[in-house]
Homo-oligomer: A and B are copies of this chain.
């Protein structure tokens, strides 16, 4: 009985130590990562929305606002991905995410898709302040970059 008690205590101690180790990993908790990622996607979506509404004629074209939106879209697209795409924060590991495991099993493909948005957003920075036709042309590239990455690396909505 004493020996059993000791063994149980030892196992509990090991389990607690393992939990403490997991808690103190040098990375944010998966749910925090999802919140941070959704915030960044919200920033990308907000600025793409301004440009998209101008392209569709749902908002009057304004060169200064379009330029600022393009600049912020480009800035958001080029953020360091190390803090945002942390392995273990995808579907099945965290709540409220549609990030597919392919992001981590196919890192070269994912990086290529992410670079697609960087490239399209950089073109938009040039186009947005030029005129509405230029903005519309660049918007096609932005839309393609969004959908290419989402099709491959984002799970369907429930």
0 or 1 for each of A26-50: is its CB under 8 Å from B? (1 = yes): 1110001001101111110111011
For A84, give the chain B residue with the smallest CB separation. B72
> Considering the chains assembled together, what is the distance between the CA atoms of A75 and B44 in angstroms?
13
> Considering the chains assembled together, what is the distance between the CA atoms of A43 and B36 in angstroms?
6
Interface residues of A in 1-59 (CB under 8 A from B): 24-28, 32, 35-36, 38-43, 45-47, 49-50, 53-54, 58-59
> Considering the chains assembled together, what is the distance between the CA atoms of A50 and B28 in angstroms?
7
Q: Which DSSP category, helix, strand, loop or mixed, fits chain A's interface?
A: helix
For A44, give the chain B residue with the smallest CB separation. B39
Q: Does A83 interact with chain B (Cβ within 8 Å)?
A: yes
Are the CB atoms of A64 and B82 closer together than 8 Å? Answer: yes
* Residue from the list B24, B35, B53 in contact with A42, Cβ < 8 A: B35
> Considering the chains assembled together, what is the distance between the CA atoms of A42 and B75 in angstroms?
16
> Considering the chains assembled together, what is the distance between the CA atoms of A50 and B68 in angstroms?
28
> Considering the chains assembled together, what is the distance between the CA atoms of A68 and B79 in angstroms?
9
The chain A residues found within 8 Å of chain B, CB to CB, are 24-28, 32, 35-36, 38-43, 45-47, 49-50, 53-54, 58-62, 64-65, 68-69, 71-72, 75-76, 78-80, 82-84
A-B contact pairs, 17 of them (CB 8 A): A24-B60, A25-B59, A26-B54, A26-B62, A27-B59, A27-B62, A27-B65, A28-B53, A28-B59, A36-B42, A43-B79, A47-B83, A68-B82, A71-B80, A75-B75, A75-B79, A75-B80
